[in-house]
Chain A
């Protein structure tokens, strides 16, 4: 059964349609990530589920009950914000216990203690329980903030870029930890981010949003390998997919309606200039450590692809390009071609 469902939900702020006819159903124990740029409507979607916003149209359903008209406290959700908001005068323990001690819950202190202990162990902060919240590092504070949501056992956790204020390294660590915790506890999470790595590594399913609409919903592999549009294709992948006018490449295997060809690293083979295929020039090779990006000039267009470590390319080299099963998009940016209809939202 779906833990959370949005049914044709829309929300405008003045003239701006923040969320447009969005339907989404999240299963029990599922980790769904909404991915999109700033202003795509991701946060508004979370706030609609939490009850912090009221939809103009449509319904919010939590555990089979329509909650559209309920206030946030009546909904069984926990919200984790981007900026950890801990009580600075309280210890880590009291910060974690705080949601359980609310008068509405009347939880026995022994039960509170057990729950706090359990969550602290899960988050590896059990040594810090006696510390003041302000005496923690950024990563520890964010773990406490997540922990404060975890001590409750709501139907769904709503997380709004909870890792984005952290160091890249810490972000990578907490990403793995959050996924592990979610698996161990079987919790249901709806998570919002603009970071494709977070989406790809944590999500059971990714929902790609743009301009208030859900463009495609699927596993990371589905979204990456079978995007339904050029927009979705450009949201995932490092380096980003190259979108080249079809006319520039020609070739007889192309679907007739193709206007744009989408080329990722795995679609491009670079050979010596005497091989068949369009000629390109190596513009520069960007060393990013593990990921070395080759920047190619193909006529007036730039292409970026991952360098094959075995291939020694340098700026100025002439090469020829071969393409294997690239993606094709029509005038409107929709995916066309062999399996173009699969993987649609």
Chain B
């Protein structure tokens, strides 16, 4: 167990600022996910935490101790890359025990640790098998075993499931989280896959262009996105934005869109006339014949239980998640009802969410 703290950590490669002053705290024993698109700086952040890169500025603390200048080998942290890099000429036992043999642990202790680790991962029956003949899942477990056998203070994982089938990835998400709960180790996990993040994380940090956009629990980030970037990155399909040009007053509970008064959470800010974006998630949109907010259906994607219907309104495209049983005709004009208590309002220029009763109680990162 360990607490990891990054204070104003920045990293520049030549003229390129990969990480621009990141602050975050990973609590003891928590599962922390850094989520973002490729090139957002998440891998560089993780590599600095591991000691594989030296920050240009800032401090990294491991359990309160400044480890910024310590090499990776002195940090008691295990780094897990895309899982699969096993030694093909060794059996499962030798693969898992490899890190301990490198550190010249006594034989008996290696044996005990390897067997304990294998039991934890439920692969103890495979210990004397060659890794070549194992299924993908078992290979993944062996790779995990090799990472956890040292019992480091923390695990850092760089898209470990990236190379897997979507279905299998989902399964491994469950296993990883379960394993985390059993060994109670601090884990920092990076991915660009929001479903992995939502399924496993205690807290998520969303990164964009070298900066942390928002930190929060999966539900906070989903329900109360702090920026349009976050709102757009999370959710499949993501939040829809309706353009509005208006002025806003503290206490407003309605916003005028194209002549329609749309109910929304009570606003806690005054804003001069300008461009705003009303954000709505697909599951909070439904068809309502009488609604003054009108649009034309341009497509419906069938997904089994539900369908995603895309409607073009005067303020932009809005996606609705509806039951597949609902009949939808492409080309027809429909009225849209938006669930009032779940609407976010953003400053369209800065991308920042406006403070409202929805955002009351934190979650703005």
Q: Which residues of B contact A169 (CB under 8 A)?
A: 37, 192, 194, 232-233, 238
* B291 contacts partner chain A, Cβ-Cβ < 8 Å: no
**Docked CA distance A290–B283 (Å):** 7
Interface residues of B in 48-103 (CB under 8 A from A): none
Task: Give the shortest distance, in Å, between B161 (CB) and chain A (any CB).
Answer: 12
* A201 contacts partner chain B, Cβ-Cβ < 8 Å: yes
* B193 contacts partner chain A, Cβ-Cβ < 8 Å: yes
B21-44 contact mask (Cβ, 8 Å, vs A): 1 or 0: 000000000000000011100000
* B108 contacts partner chain A, Cβ-Cβ < 8 Å: no
**Docked CA distance A328–B305 (Å):** 18
With known contacts A201-B301, A264-B304, A309-B283, A168–B167 Cβ distance under 8 A: no
* B237 contacts partner chain A, Cβ-Cβ < 8 Å: yes
* B321 contacts partner chain A, Cβ-Cβ < 8 Å: yes
**Docked CA distance A196–B199 (Å):** 19
**Docked CA distance A306–B283 (Å):** 13
Whether B301 pairs with A286 at a CB distance below 8 angstroms is no
Task: Give the shortest distance, in Å, between A204 (CB) and chain B (any CB).
Answer: 12
Interface residues of B in 258-298 (CB under 8 A from A): 281-283
CB-nearest residue of chain B to A288? B198
Contact of B305 among A137, A176, A266 (CB under 8 A): A266
**Docked CA distance A238–B165 (Å):** 15
* B215 contacts partner chain A, Cβ-Cβ < 8 Å: no
Contact of A224 among B39, B193, B235, B304 (CB under 8 A): B304
Whether A201 pairs with B38 at a CB distance below 8 angstroms is no
Whether A286 pairs with B304 at a CB distance below 8 angstroms is no
Q: Which residues of B contact A240 (CB under 8 A)?
A: 167
Whether B235 pairs with A290 at a CB distance below 8 angstroms is yes
**Docked CA distance A172–B282 (Å):** 15
* A197 contacts partner chain B, Cβ-Cβ < 8 Å: yes
With known contacts A138-B38, A309-B283, A168–B305 Cβ distance under 8 A: no
Whether A237 pairs with B167 at a CB distance below 8 angstroms is no
**Docked CA distance A49–B238 (Å):** 37
* A287 contacts partner chain B, Cβ-Cβ < 8 Å: yes
Whether A290 pairs with B281 at a CB distance below 8 angstroms is yes
Whether B305 pairs with A264 at a CB distance below 8 angstroms is yes
Q: Which residues of B contact A137 (CB under 8 A)?
A: 39
CB-nearest residue of chain A to B323? A266
CB-nearest residue of chain B to A241? B304
* B327 contacts partner chain A, Cβ-Cβ < 8 Å: no
Whether A197 pairs with B303 at a CB distance below 8 angstroms is yes
* A131 contacts partner chain B, Cβ-Cβ < 8 Å: no
Whether B301 pairs with A167 at a CB distance below 8 angstroms is no
A208-249 contact mask (Cβ, 8 Å, vs B): 1 or 0: 000000000000110010000000000011101000000000
**Docked CA distance A289–B166 (Å):** 18
* B234 contacts partner chain A, Cβ-Cβ < 8 Å: yes
Task: Give the shortest distance, in Å, between A323 (CB) and chain B (any CB).
Answer: 15
Whether A194 pairs with B167 at a CB distance below 8 angstroms is yes
What's the tally of chain B residues with a CB closer than 8 Å to chain A?
36
B223-251 contact mask (Cβ, 8 Å, vs A): 1 or 0: 00000000011111110000000000000
Whether B237 pairs with A168 at a CB distance below 8 angstroms is no
Q: Which residues of A contact B38 (CB under 8 A)?
A: 138, 167
Whether A168 pairs with B218 at a CB distance below 8 angstroms is no
**Docked CA distance A176–B299 (Å):** 10
* B176 contacts partner chain A, Cβ-Cβ < 8 Å: no
**Docked CA distance A138–B39 (Å):** 10
Whether A168 pairs with B194 at a CB distance below 8 angstroms is yes
A190-205 contact mask (Cβ, 8 Å, vs B): 1 or 0: 0000111100110000
With known contacts A200-B302, A236-B304, A287–B198 Cβ distance under 8 A: yes
CB-nearest residue of chain A to B218? A287
A138, A237, A287 — which one has the most chain B CB atoms within 10 A of its CB?
A287
With known contacts A38-B165, A194-B165, A290-B283, A172–B235 Cβ distance under 8 A: no
A289-327 contact mask (Cβ, 8 Å, vs B): 1 or 0: 110000000000000001001000000000000000000
CB-nearest residue of chain A to B177? A286
CB-nearest residue of chain A to B168? A37
Whether B304 pairs with A168 at a CB distance below 8 angstroms is no
Q: Which residues of A contact B235 (CB under 8 A)?
A: 289-290
With known contacts A138-B38, A286-B199, A168–B303 Cβ distance under 8 A: no
Contact of B166 among A170, A194, A288 (CB under 8 A): A194
**Docked CA distance A264–B323 (Å):** 13
A-B pairs with beta carbons under 8 Å apart, 21 shown: A37-B167, A167-B192, A169-B37, A169-B192, A169-B238, A194-B167, A196-B166, A201-B301, A201-B302, A220-B304, A221-B324, A224-B304, A238-B304, A264-B304, A266-B324, A287-B222, A289-B222, A289-B234, A290-B222, A290-B282, A309-B283
Please name 15 further chain A to chain B contacts, defined as beta carbons within 8 Å, in addition to the given A168-B194, A201-B302, A288-B198, sorted by A numbering.
A38-B136, A138-B38, A168-B193, A169-B192, A170-B37, A194-B166, A194-B167, A196-B166, A200-B303, A200-B304, A224-B302, A238-B304, A287-B219, A288-B199, A290-B222
Which residues of chain B have a CB within 8 Å of any CB of chain A?
Answer: 37-39, 136, 165-167, 192-195, 198-199, 218-219, 222, 232-238, 281-283, 299, 301-305, 321, 323-325
Give me the 6 closest cross-chain CB pairs, A-B, nearest first.
A289-B222, A201-B301, A288-B198, A237-B304, A224-B304, A167-B192
